[in-house]
Chains A and B, each alone.
Chain A
């Protein structure tokens, strides 16, 4: 069964520093992978999506993620953190080739930006 593990439920970085949020997945077939962001008391918004094309995926707000099959990872990065990046981030996986229509989410990482 597909699954996602997000290492670190809370991450704090200084404004202007590198943001690195970790995501490892488990899937028996080539997966689709997603990163979503959630601001307090709001729904989720898609940051970026991997669908077996380029392994480096660029998203909105300066975020990007790299698919590494050998490490089963899809870590999210941003070169320079901004105060507005403070939010909760969710990694998610689906298995289209198995006809699995469900999206499985990780438990989330709360990102705090230190002024």
Chain B
């Protein structure tokens, strides 16, 4: 089955810890995206990558980092610099750009204890 997987589904973090969220796709898509979802705020773009070894900051990149070493993988690290990391994180991919349909993973819910 083709699709996007995210792991883990639930993640708990202590304050001051870095955590990494996994996103893998087997759709052969070039572009990948990370969004943060908070109640009543919709989805906000954290980082995106249109090609391997290249990525751009989105609207709320502070306190986050990413890498794109392989076409199928786009992990997101939530660093201790992110002051309010509790949220639902969604990964997406598309063929080339945001004009193409984005396909979403099932999400990771991060809670800071």
User: Which A residues contact B (CB, under 8 angstroms)?
Assistant: 9, 32, 34, 36, 41-46, 49, 51, 90, 94, 96, 100-103, 105-108
Contact = CB atoms under 8 A, between A and B. Distances in A.
Given A102-B45, A102-B48, A105-B42, A49 B101 contact: yes
Nearest to B31: A101
Nearest to A6: B42
A101 B97 contact: yes
Interface of B is mostly: strand
Contacts of A105: 35, 42-44
In this complex, the interface size class of chain B, counting residues with CB under 8 Å from chain A, is: 20 to 34
Interface of A is mostly: strand
Given A9-B40, A108-B42, A103 B102 contact: yes
Contact of B104 (A41, A44, A102, A106): A44
A38 B88 CA distance: 13
Nearest to B50: A101
A7 B31 CA distance: 30
B99 interface: yes
Contact of A102 (B4, B58, B105, B107): B58
B98 interface: yes
